[in-house]
């Protein structure tokens, strides 16, 4: 009696420990979509099946080892084969496996059905950022890490969302089916957001599909899940889920901005306009490396303030910003920034922080270079 | 023939009676087991494919 009680208490405390471990953030999240919750419950069902099997198998094993030990005079049985036992221990696992495969397959089938989406988003991996394009909406932008360099270099305390923050999150509507078309410009990346139960490889030359229907507004974070080079850890994913009408007005706003920018390419911009726009772009993208005051961080990141060689060579300046410097952290910005942003940031760099080249770079000039 | 099919099925399942095994090794021809094995493997593949196609509909 007391023995049984000890057994029950042992098993109970094991189960308690297991469930509290699971509840303490060690487990996968249940997520905020139908599919993610289905995956979670599959995971838990299979987990508990494994726990029960483990307890039964090891229980029988340890009990037999203990109960029939030699010091108590146990004699080993000496027989060969028992067809019915063999049939049972083959059939039972088979049934368990099939029983787990059936619901798992049904979920997989749902996960692969990306048809009839309300919104298409093209997701492109790039070393080391994500590019999002809302297909047919004329809205696209690049989402890059916004954790300050000083935190990465250990000069400042790490923030709450260290390496999980971006300048522009992907904004999605709640309650609508969003289809992702995933591809890559360079190497294989993987777009992964645990709360949405989406982890999809983005492969150059291929377009993979996936979809979500988010149920709760909120911020969901993830990371690139495919080792893609030096800054693999520095290309997080942030999804901001908004209610349908909020999303619609956000999208309309972005569309208007895009149209304004597009019409801005053809017109002549004034120095002041370019400087203002350029300061925004510089602060958002370039300042992490070249510093807000253009002083850089020698020897890795060259100073742009007072950089005579650069100021005397306008063409090289434009070329570096458009095409990057291969083999260095200086990326090509030709496809991540639009002509207005490119012209503005170059103009800004040539006239800010005491740089007095007086040069104006017009968006139309950049547009012509991009079309070459 | 039926004997051979039964033995191949047992091999697919992974469990065979000792008596049947003795019998096969004394009276059966290897060629027959190989031929039936190949045919039944093909049948198994087609069965699985059929189930998959049906489930995908
Ligand atoms: Cu990556």
Tens of pLDDT, residues A174-206:
999 999 999 998 899 999 999 999 999 999 999
* Segment holding A120, helix H or strand E: strand A119-126
Specify the pLDDT at position A17: 66
The pLDDT tens digits of the residues spanning A131-171 come to: 999 998 888 888 989 888 888 888 888 888 899 999 899 99
CA of A164 to the centre of ligand 1 (A): 14
The 10 Å Cβ neighbour count of residue A358 is 8
Instruction: Calculate the alpha carbon distances from B3 to A214, B10, B35 in Å.
Output: 58, 11, 14
Structural domain span for residue B21: 2-56
Q: B interface toward A at CB cutoff 8 Å? A: 13-15, 17-18, 55-56
Of A83, A105, A109, the CB nearest to B15: A83
Are A37 and A56 part of one and the same domain? yes
Q: Tell me, yes or no, whether A152 and A91 share the same domain.
A: no
Q: What was the pLDDT predicted at A14?
A: 66
Q: How many domains does chain B have?
A: 1
Q: Which are the contacts of A188, defined by CB distance < 8 A and separation ≥ 6?
A: A125, A201, A202, A203, A204, A226, A228
Taking the centre of ligand 1 as the mean of its atom positions, its distance from the CA of residue A234, in whole angstroms, is 8
Q: Looking at the structure, tell me whether residues A175 and A47 fall in a common domain.
A: no
Kindly state whether residues A343 and A244 are assigned to the same domain. Answer: no
- Judged by CB atoms closer than 8 Å, whether chains meet at A109 and B15 is answered as no
Tens-digit pLDDT profile for residues A29-75: 999 999 999 999 999 999 999 999 999 999 999 999 999 998 988 88
**What digits encode the pLDDT tens for the residues A3-34?**
666 666 676 666 666 666 666 678 889 999 99
Residue of B11, B15, B20 for testing the chain A interface, max A β-carbons within 10 Å: B15
Q: How much is the ipTM here?
A: 0.78
**Token pair 């060579």 is at which residue?**
A313
Calculate how close chain A gets to B16, using CA atoms only, in Å.
Answer: 7
A234 and A291 part of one domain: no
What's residue A74's pLDDT? 86
- Of A235, A262, A289, which one is at a domain's C-terminal end? A262
- Domains in chain A: how many in total? 3
Domain that holds residue A283: 265-371
Q: What is the DSSP string of A144-204?
A: -B-S-HHHHTTSS---TTTT--BSSPEEEETTS-EEEEEEESSS-EEEEEGGGTEEEEE-B
The CATH number of residue A187's host domain is: 2.60.40.420
Is residue A236 located within the same domain as residue A275?
A: no
Poorest-pLDDT segment among A96-100, A131-135, A232-236, A291-295: A291-295
Name the domain boundary from A208, A239, A262. A262
CATH code assigned at A50: 1.10.287
pTM: 0.68
Test A87 with B15 for CB contact under 8 angstroms: yes
- A83 close contact with B: CB closer than 8 A: yes
> Over 90: is that where the pLDDT of A328 sits?
no
Describe the crossing of helices A34-67 and A83-112 by its angle, rounded to 10 degrees: 160
Q: Is A160 found in the same domain as A65?
A: no
Residues of B in contact with A80 (CB under 8 A): 18
């Amino acid at each position: 009696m007391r023995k049984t009680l000890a057994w029950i208490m042992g098993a109970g405390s094991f189960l308690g420990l297991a469930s509290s471990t699971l509840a303490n953030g060690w487990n996968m999240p249940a997520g905020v979509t139908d599919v993610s919750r289905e995956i979670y419950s599959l995971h838990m069902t299979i987990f508990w099946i494994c726990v029960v099997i483990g307890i039964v198998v090891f229980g029988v094993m340890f009990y037999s080892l203990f109960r029939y030990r030699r010091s108590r005079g146990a004699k080993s049985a000496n027989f060969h084969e028992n067809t019915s036992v063999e049939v049972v221990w083959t059939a039972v696992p088979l049934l368990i496996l099939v029983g787990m495969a059936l619901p798992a397959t049904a979920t997989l089938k749902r996960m692969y059905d990306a048809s009839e989406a309300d919104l298409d988003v093209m997701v492109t991996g790039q070393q080391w950022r994500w590019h999002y394009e809302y297909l047919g909406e004329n809205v696209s932008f690049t989402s890059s890490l916004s954790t300050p360099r000083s935190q990465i270099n250990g000069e400042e305390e790490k923030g709450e969302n260290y390496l999980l923050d971006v300048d522009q999150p992907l904004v999605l509507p709640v309650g609508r089916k969003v289809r992702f078309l995933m591809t890559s410009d360079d190497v294989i990346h993987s777009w992964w957001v645990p709360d949405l139960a989406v982890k999809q490889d983005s492969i150059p030359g291929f377009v993979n599909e996936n979809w979500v229907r988010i149920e709760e507004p909120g911020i969901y974070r993830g990371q690139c899940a495919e080792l893609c080079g030096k800054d693999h850890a520095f290309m997080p994913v942030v999804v901001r889920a908004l209610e349908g009408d909020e999303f619609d007005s956000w999208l309309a706003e972005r569309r208007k901005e895009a149209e304004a920018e597009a019409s801005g390419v053809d017109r002549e911009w004034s120095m002041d306009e370019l400087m203002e726009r350029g300061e925004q772009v510089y602060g958002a993208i370039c300042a992490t490396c070249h510093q807000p005051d253009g002083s850089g961080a020698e020897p890795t990141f060259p100073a742009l303030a007072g950089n005579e060689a650069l100021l005397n060579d306008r063409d090289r300046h434009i070329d570096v910003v458009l095409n990057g410097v291969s083999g260095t952290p200086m990326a090509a910005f030709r496809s991540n920034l639009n002509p207005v942003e490119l012209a503005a940031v170059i103009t800004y760099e040539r006239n800010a922080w005491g740089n007095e080249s007086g040069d104006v770079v017009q968006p139309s000039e950049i547009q012509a270079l991009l079309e070459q | 023939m039926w004997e051979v099919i039964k033995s191949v099925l047992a091999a697919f399942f992974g469990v065979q009676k000792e008596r049947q095994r003795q019998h096969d090794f004394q009276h059966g021809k290897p060629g027959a087991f190989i031929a039936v094995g190949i045919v039944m493997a093909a049948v198994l593949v087609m069965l699985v494919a059929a189930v998959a196609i049906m489930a995908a509909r």
